[in-house]
Amino acid sequence: MRLTDKIAIVTGGARGIGRATAELFAEEGATVVVADLSVDTPLADGIEFVEHDVTDEESWRRLVAGVVERHGRVDVLFNNAGTVGSYEPIDTIDPELWKRIVDINLNGCFYGVRQVVPVMRENGGGSIVNTSSIWGIAGAAGVSAYTASKAAVRSLSKNVALSYVGDGIRCNSIHPGIIDTPMIEAQDAGVTAGIVDITPMKRLGTPREIANGVLFLASDESSYMTGAELVIDGGYTAQ
């Protein structure tokens, strides 16, 4: 029980990597609050659901205040909500779509950190895990807003780690490769096949494989890690 008595918030937790992580956190003893726009199928027993928009700072205030009111603190924040949104390059993407993608992927993390840092500081520390991507490390043609926002999440995580290390707050980023999630199912099959083809393991990863990495970063087992990048990508970025 690696998260016994921990209070954890998981954004984008209704499906995919977020859901797998929320379920694993609960299995490992945490009290888990899933924050998402909606939930399609019931979550496991004991996991709370809160309707939440990561791009709305007031929604973040209500979320964190509600968790503190019910449970007294926040020990873990998994900033996981995100979107690909567009595969367009810079010269053709609609600027409003660019802003929307950046708002979800980057500003969602920014607002989350702003709200949990005072709570974690007051309670002696905590762990923040931000979802970046292999494309926050390696380049990719097109996909302009996604790659820019995920690279920014990588850098933001290091800034948070260094800014709040004295408060006992750790922050690390996780960098999944191509994972079998509803977001990937919705994209063009040819795009998916192309990425799998250049992944050395030649397969999609599973949400649980990513969740295992997030669990490590959330738990006290990673107590000497902050500002680090955990890459789980079937070898993609090793090339």
Interval 47-58: pLDDT, tens: 999 999 999 999
Q: What is the CATH number of the domain that holds 73?
A: 3.40.50.720
Strand order in the sheet with 169-176: 47-51, 31-36, 7-11, 76-79, 126-131, 169-176, 229-232
| Residue 2 placed within a domain | no
Query: How many structural domains is the chain composed of?
Result: 1
**Which pLDDT does position 130 carry in this prediction?**
99
| Those residues with Cβ within 8 angstroms of residue 143's Cβ, 6 or more apart along the chain or in another chain | 84, 86, 87, 88, 135
Residues in a beta bridge with 179: 205
Per-residue model confidence as pLDDT tens digits over 94-134: 999 999 999 999 999 999 999 999 999 999 999 999 999 99
Instruction: Check pLDDT > 90 for residue 191.
Output: no
| Those residues with Cβ within 8 angstroms of residue 71's Cβ, 6 or more apart along the chain or in another chain | 7, 31
Query: Which among 61, 77, 68, 164 has a CA at the least distance from the CA of 121?
Result: 164
> Which positions are annotated as active-site residues?
146
Cα torsion angle, 166, 55, 229, 67, sign: positive
Is the pTM higher than 0.85? The answer reads yes
- Domain residues for 32? 7-238
What 8-state DSSP symbol labels residue 80?
A: -
| Residue 1 placed within a domain | no
| Residue 158 placed within a domain | yes
The C-alpha angle with vertex 59 and arms to 164 and 95, in degrees rounded to 5, equals 90
- Are 104 and 153 in contact by the 8 Å Cβ rule? The answer is no
| Residue 220 placed within a domain | yes
| Residue 185 placed within a domain | yes
